[in-house]
């Protein structure tokens, strides 16, 4: 009984809201009806005749002055609007109407209603004091020799910018060198090689390091003290030299994998020795930290080689073992490599388990995390989703969850959908990405487009819903919804990271506001009218009369029909009542 009463109250409330929504139309027709009824006592016809006589007595100079003044005023408004838009990025008239007129008219500011939402959840972790435009190492970066250079050979274009390669050189010096490298000749050569700009010089230095290491590592050890029989014992070679050769000299993934396996043998030996000596002083601790970075890098690249060569299950096992062995090394973002490989295997339960661990409030987000979570929720409803059916019956709970996940992902990186929907062409991803930028969108879509295509209806759901995100964040540079406001500096940083032949995606796209276009059109139109009226006053007068007669013809037709239908004594009957 209580449920029935509650349902009746809700129905009554919805009917009242609906009636108030369309009440203005009833009021409008009521006003027109009263004006018609009161046309005799208000002497509307006489007033119109007087106005028409006054307008007929005006000379063309008056119209020239009127249109010229209108053109001047609209031109001044246009200049001010353009200056304000160039300085502040928004329209002054639009901002005033939103800030001051909307509250007076009873509007609600969506941003204020969402303020409580943006103060919790993901925004808490993302409002930390970190640089907005921090550049991150791309966890899925390609191999220079086997992939980037082959692209250059085929197309003649350079897929990497100097800024991107310079950042990689800095990363290599940070991860693969330490202060004690000068004590070992091979490491000293590699320390210089990482700073070298010329690729051939780097490769030559790596070969030189391997040759020096091979010569100096031959230690003659007598098998028997009194014998002249000697054993040649080879010490581990320079692991970083193999890394450089695998990255830049190898022309195929198979060649790179062989070199990385040799690097693994050398790096594993160095890591075990430095692990035993790490507590003997700061110098040994720095060596151990360097050897750890080298070993993790080698194992991750070996897993990526296996993934490229089609051995996906082997790659997943290697990544899982690496994450268990070094759980604190999150700077390589190995979990993003794991997510991509699991999606290739269509192991969606395992993908959900990884997301449950890394899609956390306290951890930094990425396009891979947000869009993979959206893909999993879309997968549950996308095969049966129809926008026509959804508009008729409304969204179900599962569909609403999928749409909200897509909106969350689009708010984090709004550039991704155009690449997934193939509205914009892809290029090779850079070695570094800017989170929430175009570079991250390219890196994500390059590897994950196939996974979205594999899920039936997922791209259709994305196509129907992704643009709805922007209605929740009308001013993304000032206030976000689930994340912090969109960084302003992404466009500049992405232009440095991405090659010149790529058209960088910009968000929010600074289109000219409506009022600038309106004032420009008004200024031009009134100026043209002033000029024509001044040059051809009689002809413009004929055109004006013809235009006004055509404009009022429907109204006169309606009034004639109403007069023929209503009795002539209606007004007298109403006065008697």
Per-residue pLDDT of the chain (577 residues; tens, 9 = 90+): 555 666 676 777 676 666 655 666 776 777 777 776 666 676 766 776 776 776 667 667 777 777 778 778 878 887 887 777 766 666 777 777 666 555 554 444 444 444 444 444 444 444 333 345 788 999 999 999 899 999 999 998 999 999 999 999 998 888 888 887 777 888 888 888 888 888 899 999 999 888 876 555 444 444 444 444 434 444 457 888 999 999 999 999 999 999 999 999 988 888 888 878 777 878 878 888 888 889 999 999 999 999 999 999 999 999 999 989 888 776 678 899 999 999 999 999 999 999 988 887 777 888 999 999 999 999 988 888 887 777 788 888 888 999 999 999 999 999 999 999 999 999 999 999 999 999 999 999 999 999 999 999 899 999 888 888 888 887 787 788 888 888 888 888 899 999 999 998 888 765 666 666 777 777 777 778 777 777 787 787 777 777 777 877 887 777 777 667 666 555 555 555 5
pLDDT on residue 434: 92
20: which DSSP letter?
H
**Phi and psi at residue 435, to the nearest 5°:** -60, 135
The answer to whether the beta carbons of residues 499 and 159 sit under 8 Å apart is yes
Write out the DSSP string of 391-436: HHH---HHHHHHHHHHHHHHHH-TTHHHHHTTSS---PPPSEEETT
Residue with tokens 């780097």: 202
Q: Do β-strands 230-234 and 432-434 pair in parallel, antiparallel, or remain unpaired?
A: unpaired
pLDDT on residue 111: 41
Q: What's the CA gap between 264 and 259, in Å, rounded? A: 9
The answer to whether the beta carbons of residues 559 and 22 sit under 8 Å apart is no
Q: What's the CA gap between 100 and 105, in Å, rounded? A: 9
Give me the count of residues in the chain. 577
pLDDT on residue 574: 53
Helix (H) or strand (E) holding 218: strand 218-222
Q: Which residues pair with 230 in a beta bridge?
A: 222
The three state secondary structure string of 71-122 is HHHHHHHHHHHHHHHHHHCCCHHHHHHHHHHHHHCCCCCHHHHCHHHHCCCH
Q: What's the CA gap between 432 and 440, in Å, rounded? A: 8
The answer to whether the beta carbons of residues 60 and 537 sit under 8 Å apart is yes
State both tokens at 436: 């929430």
pLDDT on residue 16: 65
The answer to whether the beta carbons of residues 123 and 485 sit under 8 Å apart is no
pLDDT on residue 230: 39
Query: What's the sign of the alpha-carbon dihedral 400, 406, 407, 408?
Result: positive
* 536-549: burial string, b at 16+ Cβ within 10 Å, e else: eeeebeeeeeeeee
For the whole prediction, is pTM greater than 0.85? no
Q: What's the CA gap between 245 and 221, in Å, rounded? A: 31
333 contact partners, CB below 8 Å, separation of at least 6:
136, 137, 139, 366
State both tokens at 236: 């581990």
Our CA dihedral for 194, 196, 199, 201, rounded to 10 degrees, sits at -110
The answer to whether the beta carbons of residues 481 and 120 sit under 8 Å apart is no
Write out the DSSP string of 301-358: HHHHHHHHTT-HHHHHHHHHHHHHH-TT--TT-HHHHHHHHHHHTT-HHHHHHHHHHH
Our CA dihedral for 104, 107, 113, 114, rounded to 10 degrees, sits at -120
pLDDT on residue 350: 93
Conformation bin of residue 161: beta by default, left when phi > 0, alpha when psi is -120 to 50: beta
Q: What's the CA gap between 441 and 232, in Å, rounded? A: 53
The answer to whether the beta carbons of residues 378 and 403 sit under 8 Å apart is no
Kindly report the number of other CB atoms within 10 A of residue 225's CB atom. Answer: 5
219 contact partners, CB below 8 Å, separation of at least 6:
232, 233, 235
The answer to whether the beta carbons of residues 519 and 93 sit under 8 Å apart is no
């Amino acid at each position: 009984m209580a449920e029935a009463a509650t349902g009746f109250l809700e129905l009554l409330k919805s009917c009242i809201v609906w009636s108030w929504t369309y009440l203005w139309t009833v009021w409008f027709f009521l006003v027109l009806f009263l004006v018609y009824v009161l046309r005799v006592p208000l002497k509307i016809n006489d007033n119109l005749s007087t106005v028409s006589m006054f307008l007929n007595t005006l000379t063309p100079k008056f119209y020239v002055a009127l249109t010229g003044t209108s053109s001047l005023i609209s031109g001044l408004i246009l200049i001010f609007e353009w200056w304000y838009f160039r300085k502040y990025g928004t329209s002054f008239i639009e901002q005033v109407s939103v800030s001051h007129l909307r509250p007076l008219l009873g509007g609600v500011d969506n941003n204020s209603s969402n303020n409580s939402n943006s103060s919790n959840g993901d925004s808490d972790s993302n409002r930390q004091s970190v640089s907005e435009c921090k550049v991150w190492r791309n966890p899925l970066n390609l191999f220079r020799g086997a992939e980037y250079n082959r692209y250059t050979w085929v197309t003649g274009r350079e897929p990497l910018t100097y800024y991107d390669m310079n950042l990689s050189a800095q990363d290599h010096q940070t991860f693969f060198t330490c202060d004690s490298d000068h004590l070992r000749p091979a490491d000293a050569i590699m320390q210089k090689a990482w700073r070298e700009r010329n690729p051939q010089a780097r490769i030559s230095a790596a070969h030189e390091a391997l040759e020096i290491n091979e010569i100096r590592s031959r230690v003659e050890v007598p098998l028997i003290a009194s014998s002249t029989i000697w054993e040649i014992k080879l010490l581990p070679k320079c692991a970083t030299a193999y890394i450089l050769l695998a990255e830049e000299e190898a022309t195929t993934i198979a060649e790179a994998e062989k070199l990385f396996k040799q690097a693994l043998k050398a790096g594993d030996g160095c890591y075990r020795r430095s692990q035993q000596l790490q507590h003997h002083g700061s110098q040994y601790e720095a060596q151990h930290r360097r050897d750890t970075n080298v070993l993790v890098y080698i194992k991750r690249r070996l897993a990526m080689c296996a993934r490229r060569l089609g051995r996906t299950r082997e790659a997943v096992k290697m990544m899982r073992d690496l994450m268990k062995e070094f759980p604190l090394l999150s700077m390589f973002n190995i979990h993003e490599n794991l997510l991509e490989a699991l999606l290739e295997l269509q192991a969606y339960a395992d993908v959900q388990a990884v997301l449950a661990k890394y899609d956390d409030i306290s951890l930094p987000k990425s396009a891979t995390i947000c869009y993979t979570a959206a893909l999993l929720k879309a997968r549950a409803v996308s095969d049966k989703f129809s926008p026509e059916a959804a508009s008729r019956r409304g969204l179900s709970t599962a569909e609403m969850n999928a749409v909200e996940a897509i909106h969350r992902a689009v708010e984090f990186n709004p550039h991704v959908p155009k690449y997934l929907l193939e509205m914009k062409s892809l290029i090779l991803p850079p070695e570094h990405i800017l989170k929430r930028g175009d570079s991250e969108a390219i890196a994500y879509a390059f590897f994950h487009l196939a996974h979205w295509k594999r899920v039936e209806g997922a791209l259709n759901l994305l196509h129907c819903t992704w643009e709805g995100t922007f209605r929740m964040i009308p001013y993304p540079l000032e206030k976000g919804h689930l994340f912090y406001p969109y960084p302003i500096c992404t466009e500049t940083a992405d232009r440095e990271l991405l090659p010149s032949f790529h058209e960088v995606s910009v968000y929010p796209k600074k289109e000219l506001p409506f009022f600038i276009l309106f004032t420009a059109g008004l200024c031009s139109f009134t100026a043209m009218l002033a000029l024509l009226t001044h040059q051809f006053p009689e002809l413009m007068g004929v055109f004006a009369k013809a235009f006004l007669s055509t404009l009022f013809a429907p109204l006169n037709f309606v009034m004639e029909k109403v007069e023929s239908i209503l009795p002539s004594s209606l007004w007298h009957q109403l006065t008697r009542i």
